[in-house]
Structure 1
Amino acid sequence: MNNQATLQRMQQLKLQGMAQAFEAILHLPVQQHPATDQLLAQLLDAEYEHRHHQKTKTAIRSARFRYQASLEEVHFLPTRNLDQDQWLRLADCSFIKRAENIFFTGAAGCGKSFLASALGYQACRLGYRVAYYHLPKLLEKLHVAKADASYSRELAKLEKQQLLILDDWGLQPLDQPGKLALLQIMEDRHGKAATIITSQLPVKAWYDYIADPTLADAILDRLLHQAHRFELKGDSLRKKIMNQP
């Protein structure tokens, strides 16, 4: 089999990374072609990297993040009250394996959702299953699911996520079905998976937000155990960006 036929066979087998690498090697002068063992290693590495990249792209698309964000874009301004050491300790996403939760609280525009998205992107790159939800929309979706008998299926999807990001906790009042749905979500994840929550409400106000002593105790007991808290300060970052010349 000649080189062109080999290249076509790779493409037929959908070995895209391998095919691209092999084609690039074929365009090199013959004296620069790697030895057989090196060639095989390079082609396998290229295929692995290609598949990993495609898997990451699919994971990010499925997660539906609010922002395209990365850890490298995070600014540690003194006025933000964002502890750099604490943040960097989370960058390897080992908190997901330990089923630890993270809370980002602070005023509108202080960067809570961006930080949550950055950790979510990092988790996708490391191969974790991640889902990002605007909490009011998620509760509305679950309410509709009860009507068409898909409620259990939707809860099962949430349970499978190794990292669940709930954005805008406390933005809208909770009705009784919403409180019960939250309890079920937290019960399913407690000790098994990680959750990130962003909220304009400080954590100490969450009990009153739930407004049901029994359910509040049950939900917060599952949430607050082994949690990392970031209470962000400062002016709105969105306003600063808009005011830039």
Structure 2
Amino acid sequence: QNVFITGSSGTGKSYIASAIGYEACKNGIKTLYSNASKLMGQLKIAKNKDTIESEMKKIEKCQLLILDDLFLIGLDARERSILMEIIEDRHGLKSIIITSQLPVESWYDAIGDPTVADAILDRIVHTAHKIELTGDSVRKINAKKK
């Protein structure tokens, strides 16, 4: 199953995704956690080095993929293609957790290409559990306490 966790900065999206990932690991579920922008950057480099297939196989082997802060930075054409491949490889077979500051309704525009957006979102949105966090930043609250 897939989970989307959305909300403003500091509301606990990464914390919840990490906690789910930690529990998955404790239960023997192979999990990969990555900041989405960093992962996309690494995969673009791998594509240039012609090692993308081995990198994608590492991702495929994981039953749970956690993409943290997806769409924080807009996707370029190569990143859209890579994200599409990741989603396609996982569709109906393996789980993904996505955290994003953008609400799910804004993901279509964040992907940037209508055709690719349709393909990606059609594969993940309809069956995902959605958690929308609200409230002040935990970092802001903790800073006031100090």
Same-fold call, TM > 0.5? yes
User: In structure 2, what is the equivalent of residue 227 of structure 1?
Assistant: 128
How much has 1:239 moved relative to structure 2? 1.1
Alignment of 1:57-136 (within 5 A): 100-136=1-37
Number of residue pairs matched by the alignment: 146
Match of 1:127, SS state, is coil
Structure 1 residues 125-157: Cα deviation after superposition (integer angstroms, max 9, x where no partner): 000000101000000000000111110111111
Q: What 5-or-longer segments of structure 1 have no aligned partner?
A: 1-99
User: In structure 2, what is the equivalent of residue 182 of structure 1?
Assistant: 83
Q: Choose between structure 1 and 2: higher strand proportion.
A: 2
1:243 lines up with 2:144 in the alignment: yes
Q: Choose between structure 1 and 2: higher helix proportion.
A: 1
**Normalised TM-score (structure 1):** 0.59
Partner Cα distance (1:213, 1:148) in 2: 29
Q: What 5-or-longer segments of structure 2 have no aligned partner?
A: none
Partner Cα distance (2:91, 2:48) in 1: 27
Match of 1:169, SS state, is coil
Match of 1:198, SS state, is strand
Match of 1:103, SS state, is strand
> Partner letter of residue 238 of structure 1?
R
User: In structure 2, what is the equivalent of residue 192 of structure 1?
Assistant: 93
Q: Which has the higher contact order (CA 8 A, sep 6+)?
A: 2
Higher Rg of the two aligned structures: 1
- Give the alignment's Cα RMSD to 1 decimal: 0.7
**Normalised TM-score (structure 2):** 0.98
Alignment of 1:128-147 (within 5 A): 128-147=29-48
User: In structure 2, what is the equivalent of residue 150 of structure 1?
Assistant: 51
Partner Cα distance (1:227, 1:135) in 2: 18
How much has 1:225 moved relative to structure 2? 3.0
Regions of 4+ moved over 2 Å: none
